[in-house]
Amino acid sequence: MTADDKALLKTQVEKILLIQGNQFIKELLRENSLPIGSTKKDFLTNITNAIDEDRLTREMIEAWLKQVEGWGNQHLYLFEPPEITPQDAREAISQSEFSPLIEQGFGYEFPDDLQLTNIELGEEGISLVWQQGKEGWNRTRAKDISPQQEGLEVYKYEAYRQRFDRSTVRFEWRFADPFVGILIHRSKEIDHSTAIELVWQGVSALGICAARTARISLSRAVKSASDGDVETKSTRFGTDDGHVEMVSNLASGGINDVAAVRQARLGLNVDDFPRAEGAFVMNEEGFNLSRDLSIKVVGSIGHVAIWAHCKRDDIYTVLDNLIALNAGDNDE
Amino acid sequence: MTNNGAKEWEAELARRQHVGDGLEFLPESFLRTVGDTPTGDSFELWLKKKVSQGELVTLEAWQCPVEGCGRVIDKSEIEANVCPKCGTDFQEFGEDPIRQTRYRAKGESSRDIYWMIVIHGMNTRGAWQEELSWRLANKLKYSAPVLIYKYGWATIDVLVKRCHQSLVNKLGIRIREAIRFANEHNNNHCPDVIVHSFGSQLFALLLESEEFSDLKFGRVITVGSIIHPDFVWSRHMDSGKIEAVLNHVGKKDARVRAAQFFIPGTGPSGHKGFTDSASINVPEQSYGHSSAFEPSELKKNLGTGGLWDQFLQSPLNHFKPSTAFRLEEWKPFCVLVRCATRFLGYLIFAVLAPFSFVRRLLDP
């Protein structure tokens, strides 16, 4: 790598470090046997030194980004898989106008609007990646200016600190799965309906399927999970005419750790409620995840929100578990 | 620290551990329960002492700062800066979640009765089963079905071992069918069991049976038990076949004392208790053979805080009835006497069997 390449890579990495979770930056350093440190400043120093000393290359950073960027801290929507065969799908994509994006690699610069930037065609599945860079504003009360009189008026100034979000939207189809997923990074700048529409337009333009497929209901999964299979922070079972909601206020447990709520849950015939949603904790040990994950599932629209930053494998572990819990779903 | 306050706090903590509920708490809500006001630092010192003794664990917790929300926020939600309930982004809102110090007492949570199997004794149709089922259904505000198992009006059948095995097979098949049915109806939990008199012996034989080794049960209550006092309950607990056993001993139960003389493989555990330390023997001085099933006693035993209620719903590690005992040793009565009485039993069986057979045909 030339000195210019290294300088460019360092600038790009600096931007990424600002928004990446510390846990995953540590993992990049640990996996490559580099000094770790404890603050973002330490991480940046160690990564910069490693780039200078050729101990950290662009390829190594891209491989790491592929695992962690755009996974977790996001919303997922599940749909039925397209009817096209994997082989036909690969051929259709290769012949489409987007074929130059195949295996384009992970972009460091994010466009202002959602754009399809990368297509991964693997033996086991297809992954389409849209990226968007946006600014956001964090309220910073410490920088507020106390009310000041100007003439006859009094003015109050509230401070916001600018931040940059790198948002990723994915269309994920593992051929063996009974679902495809649209994964939307949690960002106020992304309207979910618009993003989902954009993804399906892209999928259609790639020749994978002409129209969007049906959503997968996860109501059965919510019902099974809240029966004790998964730590349940809250559930809401609904009909057209009303709903029942149960919530745990415990830090160390869910609704099944509160006797009165647990017994209320036992008194419920959940089959009478076509819709179900819930907030759950899937723990690291019980579900073989890289960390504990808080998730929210809105069953009727096949929507899963995962609050923490995690890895690709974690997302699939969560989805595989939900699909297993969902077996026999016949709700709305 | 005032001694009175500390005593109340100790008692409240012990109560929570005993019932297995309210184990996690905020200091102020704990004080509210005992009617104290959060003044001074004596309560804080007591909490610290309990933490250092390992009785309490300190939990780091957060709460959503948005007025009207207040949801407890966990670590991954903190990291994502979001409240899953109200959707507030804490960074954009400009306020961090409110830090709370909570405590969790050592101990297990309470358990529920999901469904139950009740098996009656000999020479009766077990009217108590209906009464128990009715009371249980009214006690619990959720559905906990009771499988009332009836094997008919057994009389001289109990005198012959071969008849026992036939009854055990029927019982096992019925329970297996009931478990399958419960599973089909989303009830995958093990049933709790209450057995009486000869029903207890059938249940013990069922546990020993290889053919029915797939059957698993929750907590078991024996009343007027004629199971051999040396029965090895711990083996069945270790293998996961049962969770625990409570032997409600009747100190005035004369009938169980006679069992070993006429009914093969039995003993007076309903009077003497069990030797296995894994079982919990609790005596009742006034109880005869079926006293526990009298309506007034059922009300007491199944009512909140009653012996059966505690055994069925409380965490086992805190279920320690003050009168519980362990039978140190038990030896059956002189073998010659038992042979003679057993022989007499066979004679009675041989003479009355045809009549019993006809009666069973007409009135099972």
pLDDT digits (tens, 9 = 90+) for A289-308: 888 899 999 999 999 999 88
The span from the CA of A328 to the CA of A20, in Å, is 38
At B42, which amino acid appears?
S
What pLDDT is stored for residue B331 in this prediction? Answer: 86
Residue B176 has pLDDT above 90, yes or no: yes
pLDDT digits (tens, 9 = 90+) for A100-112: 999 877 666 678 8
Q: Report the DSSP pairing between strands B72-73 and B56-63.
A: antiparallel
Q: Do B141 and A188 touch (CB under 8 A)?
A: no
Q: What are the start-end ranges of the E strands in chain B?
A: 24-25, 56-63, 72-73, 98-105, 116-119, 146-149, 192-196, 219-223, 244-250, 280-284
Residue of A140, A224, A266 to mutate when probing chain B, most B C-beta within 10 A: A266
Q: What is the average pLDDT value for chain A, to the nearest integer?
A: 88
Q: Alpha carbon of B268 to those of A59, A230, A291, B120, B279: distances in Å?
A: 78, 45, 55, 17, 15
B143 touches chain A (CB under 8 A): yes
Q: Do B72 and A249 touch (CB under 8 A)?
A: yes
Q: Alpha carbon of B364 to those of B151, B172, B359: distances in Å?
A: 8, 19, 7
What average pLDDT does range B91-104 have in this prediction? 91
Cβ neighbours of A308 in B, within 8 Å? 76-77, 79-80
What pLDDT is stored for residue A143 in this prediction? Answer: 92
What average pLDDT does range A206-228 have in this prediction? 93
pLDDT digits (tens, 9 = 90+) for B309-353: 999 999 998 899 999 999 998 888 777 777 777 777 777 766 766
The span from the CA of B182 to the CA of B115, in Å, is 9
B91 touches chain A (CB under 8 A): yes
Facing A252 at nearest CB: one of B24, B79, B141: B24
pLDDT digits (tens, 9 = 90+) for A10-36: 877 776 776 666 766 777 788 788 888
The residues with which A181 forms a beta bridge, in sequence order, are: A78, A172
Q: How confident is the model at residue B2 (pLDDT cuts 50, 70, 90)?
A: very low
pLDDT digits (tens, 9 = 90+) for A164-194: 777 889 999 999 999 999 999 888 888 999 9
The CB-side HSE value for A199 (13 A sphere, CA atoms) comes to 30
User: Do A229 and A325 form a contact (C-beta atoms < 8 A)?
Assistant: yes
Nearest to A70, CA basis, from A175, A163, A190: A190
What average pLDDT does range B98-117 have in this prediction? 94
Q: Which structure tokens are listed for A102?
A: 């195949």
The CB-side HSE value for A184 (13 A sphere, CA atoms) comes to 23
Burial class (CB in 10 A: 0-12, 13-18, 19+), A324: exposed
ipTM above 0.85 for this complex: no
Q: Do B77 and A253 touch (CB under 8 A)?
A: no
Facing B76 at nearest CB: one of A140, A186, A292: A292
Q: How confident is the model at residue A67 (pLDDT cuts 50, 70, 90)?
A: low
Q: Do B84 and A307 touch (CB under 8 A)?
A: yes
The residues with which A277 forms a beta bridge, in sequence order, are: A236, A298
Q: Which structure tokens are listed for B134?
A: 């009715």
Cβ neighbours of B58 in A, within 8 Å? none
Q: What is the average pLDDT value for chain B, to the nearest integer?
A: 88
What pLDDT is stored for residue B364 in this prediction? Answer: 66
User: Do B140 and B113 form a contact (C-beta atoms < 8 A)?
Assistant: yes
Nearest to B192, CA basis, from B140, B131, B117, B120: B117
What average pLDDT does range A239-255 have in this prediction? 94
Facing A307 at nearest CB: one of B59, B82, B114: B82
The span from the CA of A3 to the CA of B129, in Å, is 87
Nearest to A279, CA basis, from A300, A258, A254, A260: A254
Report how many Cβ contacts below 8 Å link chain A to chain B: 95
Q: What are phi and psi of A296, to 5 degrees?
A: -125, 135
Closest CA–CA distance from residue B24 to any residue of chain A (Å) = 7
Q: Which structure tokens are listed for B304?
A: 């909140």
